[in-house]
């Protein structure tokens, strides 16, 4: 009887090794849509891990500035974000980004980014006894992500080469999550080359992916844009257990947009920022 009780206690204590479930909530391309953020909070606050796939701090449609970036950063800290990847619109803040980065209370990732102080190559988060390695990548087109007038010293390495270098240097981990701010085609190509990735969270294309896009065993997910949706993925020992795209029903008001004048104003804004 004693042996049976000992065996039962041993099996019960070992259960989490194969029965765990990790809830990952994520956003992407929020573009400082402050009016839509409250609807996201119930899903983010209840998750084990909260992540963002970039383009958080700037919106050319509304020519937002550093004050708005500060505002949404404080909200992210309050909700409990664990990490985000830098997006191209985040970089459009220009030199103001260098003022913001030291004041952000969670890691801002750029595994394939060089030449921007305050960007981390990776972060490791511990949840439920698991060590989770999080990498963050931008797409391969430097002129899209780091316009030369704003970032003459910034380098953007090939994501595939950068991921291998990172995995050689990163600490031991149980799970690998990649935050990727790039087009879907580039993300699929990256995922095929990193089959050990457990989840790839995508931003940039503003896609409302109701089902994962699979690259081999790697699920790729994305949750729209401007706080109109949030993604919730559940991971277990065998990989992705469940995924849900939750639409909030909140649409961001950008006002009437005449495209060419907006682009012209944005270019002037960017060039002006570079001269400050």
In a domain, residue 249? The reply is: yes
Can you give the pTM of this predicted structure?
Answer: 0.86
User: φ and ψ at 79, to 5 degrees?
Assistant: -70, -30
User: What's residue 38's pLDDT?
Assistant: 97
In a domain, residue 125? The reply is: yes
In a domain, residue 13? The reply is: no
Least Cα distance to 68 among 42, 40, 92, 43 occurs for: 92
Q: What DSSP assignment string belongs to the chain?
A: -HHHHHHHHHHHHHTHHHH--EEEEEE---TT-GGGGGGTHHHHHTSSEEEE-S--S--TTTT--HHHHHHHHHHHHHHT--EEE--HHHHTTTTHHHHHGGG-SS-EE-TTEES-TT-BSEEEEEETTEEEEEEEEE-S-HHHHS-TTT-TT-EE--HHHHHHHHHHHSPP-SEEEEEEES-HHHHHHHHHT-TT-SEEEEESS--B-SSPEEETTEEEE-B-STTSEEEEEEEETTEEEEEEEEE-----------HHHHHHHHHHHHHHHHT-
In a domain, residue 19? The reply is: no
In a domain, residue 16? The reply is: no
In this structure, what CATH number is given to the domain that contains residue 89? Answer: 3.60.21.10
What's the structural domain count of the chain?
A: 1
In a domain, residue 116? The reply is: yes
C-beta of residue 137 within 8 angstroms of C-beta of residue 85: yes
In a domain, residue 9? The reply is: no
pLDDT by residue for the chain (276 residues), tens digit each? 445 444 444 444 444 456 899 999 999 999 999 999 999 999 999 999 999 999 999 998 887 888 999 999 999 999 999 999 999 999 999 999 999 999 999 999 999 999 999 999 999 999 999 999 999 999 988 877 888 788 888 999 999 999 999 999 999 999 999 999 999 999 999 999 999 999 999 999 999 999 999 999 999 999 999 999 999 999 999 999 999 999 997 666 554 443 443 444 345 444 544 443
- Across 126-144, b (16+ Cβ under 10 Å) vs e yields ebeebebbbbbbbbbeeee
The whole domain housing 243 covers: 34-274
User: What's residue 62's pLDDT?
Assistant: 80
User: What's residue 265's pLDDT?
Assistant: 39
In a domain, residue 76? The reply is: yes
């Amino acid at each position: 009887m004693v042996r049976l009780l000992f065996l039962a206690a041993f099996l019960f204590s070992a259960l989490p090794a194969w029965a765990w479930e990790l809830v990952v909530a994520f956003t992407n391309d929020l573009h400082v849509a402050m009016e839509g953020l409250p609807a996201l909070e119930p899903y983010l606050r209840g998750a084990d891990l909260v992540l963002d796939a970039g383009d958080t701090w700037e919106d050319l449609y509304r020519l937002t500035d550093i004050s708005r970036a500060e505002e949404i950063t404080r909200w992210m800290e309050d909700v409990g974000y664990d990490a985000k990847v830098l997006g191209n619109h985040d970089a459009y803040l220009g030199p103001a980004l260098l003022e913001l980065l030291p004041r952000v209370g969670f890691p801002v990732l750029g595994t394939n980014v060089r030449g921007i102080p305050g960007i981390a190559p990776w972060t490791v988060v511990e949840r439920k006894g698991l060590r989770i390695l999080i990498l963050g990548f931008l797409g391969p087109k430097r002129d899209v992500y780091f316009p030369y007038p704003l970032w003459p010293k910034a380098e953007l390495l090939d994501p595939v080469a950068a991921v291998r270098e990172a995995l050689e240097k990163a600490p031991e981990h149980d799970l690998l999550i990649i935050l990727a701010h790039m087009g879907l085609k580039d993300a699929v190509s990256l995922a095929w080359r990193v089959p050990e990735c457990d989840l790839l969270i995508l931003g940039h294309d503003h896609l409302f992916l109701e089902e994962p896009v699979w690259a081999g065993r790697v699920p790729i997910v994305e949750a729209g844009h401007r706080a109109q949706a949030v993604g919730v993925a559940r991971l277990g020992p065998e990989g992705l257990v469940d995924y849900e795209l939750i639409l909030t029903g909140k649409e961001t008001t950008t006002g009437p947009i005449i495209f060419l004048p907006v682009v012209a104003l944005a270019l002037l804004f960017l060039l002006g920022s570079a001269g400050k």
